[in-house]
Amino acid sequence: RIGDILFVAEAEIKNGCAPIPGCRKGTFMTFSEGPRACLGRAFAKVEFVAFFSKLLRHHRLQLDESASAIDVEKVLRLKSVTLIPPEDMRIRLVAR
């Protein structure tokens, strides 16, 4: 046990990933800080920006027809404090 996190034995690891207690699927996970931070952090950030800039160069984001702009604004106001994406907001990529 390290703090509040229990060691996960290899038998509990599924698909190469160990479950993280208290984290929901899609939750933003940081790279840590300090001397033991992820060595690939800077590369991952550059790769992220490059991927999305290329993706959004050829596509635009569009709300699903089932969501109204007012409903989306209410959800975003409630969720703007955290980085957990709303489960019920659907968007689609549309070619430009």
pLDDT at 61 over 90: no
pLDDT at 18 over 90: no
Distance CA 32, CA 41 (A): 9
| Secondary structure (3-state) at 77 | helix
pTM for the complete prediction? 0.46
pLDDT given at position 1: 47
Of the candidates 88, 86, 94, the one whose C-alpha atom is nearest the C-alpha of residue 61 is 94
3-class DSSP assignment, residue 44: helix
Q: Is the CB of residue 24 less than 8 Å from the CB of residue 84?
A: yes
Does residue 85 or residue 53 have the better pLDDT? 53
